[in-house]
Every structure is written in structure tokens, then in C-alpha cells.
């Protein structure tokens, strides 16, 4: 039997290796519980049973595979997931999402056990902004306030003044006094979009989401010709070249809501395609066409999000591992800017 608690990313390892645990075999190659599952086991009912027995809540992001979304207690965007993590009365939070999301849940609910099916489920934005490099960058702009997108590590959050998500970023930037200079990190596309929308100059950290960065403008234009009249719904993590063709720009929950409420019947969707699962459930008669990526399989799936599987989810719940832990001083420093975000965005639904 092999149970592992070490993963490839040294920053995760620093915070998440749990030395006091017994029966562990450390394996640097993997970041999840690697154990044979009985053939034919009904994973969905087993997951439901384990949730009940352990008083665990399963939170899933829209970019998870459909089966995981269907077994979750709450499916949502980063803001909704943070609110749920802060408010839940469960004893355990199982996070079907990526590492920074589970980490945010732990920051908000330190007394709860927070587990993530695969510790390797990272994020290109979080990886692009290591805390030590960010600290040196910030030092060049001592009079700037730091707004960081939630897609960053706890250590980078700890160096920020306010956190934001794609749902509340514009709302938060507009609350900053005009004469207060701003650093925005780590997503340069979201930052540039906010600058265009608000007319505010900001100093941007140069990170991108590998999924949204690769949508192809040329292929999108061809798709618009093929599906004439279909609005393009895009996430603000996309490049400007793609966003300029969008009829609606917003978070995953915003995109979902727009399509559900629209009288139109066909939509081109420029974000990770996991969102289509809920959009199709909301409106079974409508047609949703995923925007194509520049190259590769053109499936627009996030390779990090898709590391989570039903099997890993089941094993994670059964063994209550891998667990998210972090140094308390980092947690407390990361908590302040997240709480500020929650306060400043109460009005955002
Ligand atoms: P939202 O669901 O908050 O829009 O975030 C999208 C995303 O890329 C999460 O990693
Ligand atoms: Fe990070 Fe992009 Fe994946 Fe979201 S979709 S987790 S921003 S890499």
C-alpha cells in the first residue's frame, strides 16, 4: 500500500508534507493516494457515504469534470467557493479544484480539515508568481497598494493588500482612491482588461493562464462566421485579441448566468470547457460551442483541474489525505487581504 504526501512543487511540499503521519511512504513522483480500488465499486455512492460519515462538504469548481460536479455539494466560481469555505459548518472540506483554492479554504477555515485529491493540481498563474520574486518586485513600488488575483499561493497572498476574483475585481479596483497607485498580480490579461474597463493605470505582474492564453483569435473569427449571431462569452483571463470579439466578459458564474438568462439559443464560450456541463444542465435546448485553442487537442481543458478524478476523490475522502496545511504566520497574513476582499465585495452576487 502506498500513500504519499509529497509532490513535485517544492513550495507545496514545504507547506504540505505532514511529518507526523504514520504508514506513509514518500514518493516524490506523485501527489495523491495511489491505491488499488476494488473493481466495480460504485464510486458515486461511496463518495456520498464518506461525505455523510465524515460530515464533509465537497466543493467543486466549474472546471472539474461533470461527474465530480454532479457529486459536489456546491459548484461555483472562486468567489462562491471562498464564501462557502468561510461559512460551512462541516468538519471537513474536500476541495475539487486546484491547490490555491484548497489553500484559500484552509486560510478561511483553519479549524477544519481541508483535503485536495491531488496536490499536483496547481495553476500556471500561481506558479508564475513565486513569493520571493514578488517581494522583490513590490519593493520597486513602495507606495503602491497590491491587489492580487486569488489565483496565487498563500505566500503571495500574504504579501498582498487585497485579494480579488474575476467576479469582483472591477468592483474592488473602483473602490481604490484615484490617487492611490496599484500593483495588480499575477494575471496580466485580467489586469489589462481592468485597466481598459476602469481607465486606471496599474503596474502588472507578467503571468498568464495557460488555458485562456491559448484561445485562437483566428479560429474564433471563423467560428463566429459559422455560428452567425451567436454571442461570444469570454473569461477576462483571455488575451485582448480574443476579448475584443466578446459580447460578454465575466467570471465563470457570470458566463453561466448570462447564457441561462439570454433569449438566444447558441453561444460561443471562451473559457475552460468544464463550465459547459452546468450551462447544458441549465438550458438543455441551447447549443454551447467551445472556443478553440491555437494548437494541440483544442479541448480547452485545464491540465491542473483535470488531475482530479472520481477515483482520487474517493481515496482522498477515505484516507482524509492529502491534507492542506500551512504555517500559521503565513495563514494569518494571507487571511487579511482575503477578508478585505469579502468585505469589499458583499454587494457582488
Ligand atoms: P472564476 O471561476 O472565479 O471565474 O475563475 C476562473 C479560473 O480560472 C479559476 O482557476
Ligand atoms: Fe489556473 Fe488557468 Fe487552470 Fe484556472 S484554468 S486553474 S487560471 S491554469
> Does residue 71 have its Cβ closer than 6 Å to ligand 2?
no
Give yes or no for residue 123 CB within 6 A of ligand 2: yes
- Which numbered atom of ligand 2 lies nearest the CA of 126? 1
**Cα separations in angstroms, 140 against 53, 134, 269, 319:** 51, 10, 38, 45
Query: Would the CB of 90 count as within 6 Å of ligand 2?
Result: no
pLDDT of amino acid 348? 87
CATH 3.30.1360.70, applies to 10-121+304-325? no
What pLDDT is stored for residue 97 in this prediction? 98
CA of 252 to the centre of ligand 1 (A): 6
Q: Return d(Cα 96, Cα 244) in angstroms, integer.
A: 32
Q: What is the pLDDT of residue 26?
A: 31
Pick the residue whose CA is nearest to atom 6 on ligand 2: 123
DSSP 276-328: HHHHHHH-TTSEEEEPPBSSTT-----TTGGG--HHHHHHHHHHT-SBP---H
Query: How far is residue 142's CA from residue 238's CA, in Å, rounded to a whole number?
Result: 29
Q: Do domains 10-121+304-325 and 125-210+334-344 have the same CATH topology?
A: yes
User: What number does CATH give the domain 125-210+334-344?
Assistant: 3.40.50.10800
* Ligand 2 proximity of 209 Cβ (cutoff 6 Å): yes
Q: Which ligand is nearest to the CA of 187?
A: 2
pLDDT of residue 178: 97
Q: How far is the CA of 74 from the centre of ligand 1 (A)?
A: 15
- Looking at all shown ligands, the one closest to residue 98's CA atom is 2
pLDDT for the residue numbered 20:
35
pLDDT tens digit at each of 349 positions of the chain: 333 433 344 444 333 333 333 344 435 468 999 999 999 999 999 999 999 999 999 999 999 999 999 999 999 999 999 999 999 999 999 999 999 999 999 999 999 999 999 999 999 999 999 999 999 999 999 999 999 999 999 999 999 999 999 999 999 999 999 999 999 999 999 999 999 999 999 999 999 999 999 999 999 999 999 999 999 999 999 999 999 999 999 999 999 999 999 999 999 999 999 999 999 999 999 999 999 998 766 679 999 999 999 999 999 999 999 999 999 999 999 999 999 999 999 998 8
CATH 3.30.230.10: does it fit domain 212-290? Answer: no
Q: Taking the CB of residue 50, how many other CB atoms lie within 10 A of it?
A: 19
Domain residues of the chain, as ranges? 10-121+304-325, 125-210+334-344, 212-290
Q: Is the CB of 88 under 6 A from ligand 1?
A: no
Amino acid at each position: 500500500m502506498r500513500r504519499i504526501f509529497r509532490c513535485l512543487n517544492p513550495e507545496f511540499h514545504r507547506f504540505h508534507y505532514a511529518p507526523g503521519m504514520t504508514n506513509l511512504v514518500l514518493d516524490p513522483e506523485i501527489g495523491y493516494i495511489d491505491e488499488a480500488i476494488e473493481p466495480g465499486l460504485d464510486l458515486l455512492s461511496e463518495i456520498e457515504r464518506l461525505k455523510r460519515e465524515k460530515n464533509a462538504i465537497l466543493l467543486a469548481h466549474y472546471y472539474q469534470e461533470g461527474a465530480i460536479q454532479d457529486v459536489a455539494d456546491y459548484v461555483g466560481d472562486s468567489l462562491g467557493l471562498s464564501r462557502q469555505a468561510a461559512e460551512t459548518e462541516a468538519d471537513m472540506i474536500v476541495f475539487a479544484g486546484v491547490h490555491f483554492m484548497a489553500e484559500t479554504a484552509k486560510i478561511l477555515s483553519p479549524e477544519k480539515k481541508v483535503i485536495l485529491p491531488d496536490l499536483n493540481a496547481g495553476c500556471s498563474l500561481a506558479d508564475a508568481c513565486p513569493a520571493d520574486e514578488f517581494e522583490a518586485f513590490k519593493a520597486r513600488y513602495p507606495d503602491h497598494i497590491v491587489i492580487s488575483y486569488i489565483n496565487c499561493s498563500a505566500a503571495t497572498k500574504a504579501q498582498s493588500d487585497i485579494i480579488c476574483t474575476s467576479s469582483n475585481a472591477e468592483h474592488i479596483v473602483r473602490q481604490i482612491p484615484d490617487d492611490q497607485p496599484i500593483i495588480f498580480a499575477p494575471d496580466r490579461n485580467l489586469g489589462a482588461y481592468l485597466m481598459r474597463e476602469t481607465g486606471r493605470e496599474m503596474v502588472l505582474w507578467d503571468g498568464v493562464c495557460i488555458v485562456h492564453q491559448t484561445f485562437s483569435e483566428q479560429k474564433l473569427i471563423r467560428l463566429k462566421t459559422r455560428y452567425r449571431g451567436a454571442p461570444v462569452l469570454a473569461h477576462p483571463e483571455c488575451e485582448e485579441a480574443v476579448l475584443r470579439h466578446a459580447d460578454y466578459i465575466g467570471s465563470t458564474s457570470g458566463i453561466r448566468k448570462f447564457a441561462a438568462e439570454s433569449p438566444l439559443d447558441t453561444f460561443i464560450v471562451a473559457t475552460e470547457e468544464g463550465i459547459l456541463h452546468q450551462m447544458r444542465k441549465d438550458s438543455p435546448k441551447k447549443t454551447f460551442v467551445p472556443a478553440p485553442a491555437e494548437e494541440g487537442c483544442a479541448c480547452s481543458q485545464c491540465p491542473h483541474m483535470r488531475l482530479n478524478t472520481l477515483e482520487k476523490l474517493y481515496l482522498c475522502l477515505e484516507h482524509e489525505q492529502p491534507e492542506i496545511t500551512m504555517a500559521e504566520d503565513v495563514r494569518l497574513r494571507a487571511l487579511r487581504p482575503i477578508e478585505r476582499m469579502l468585505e469589499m465585495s458583499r454587494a457582488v452576487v
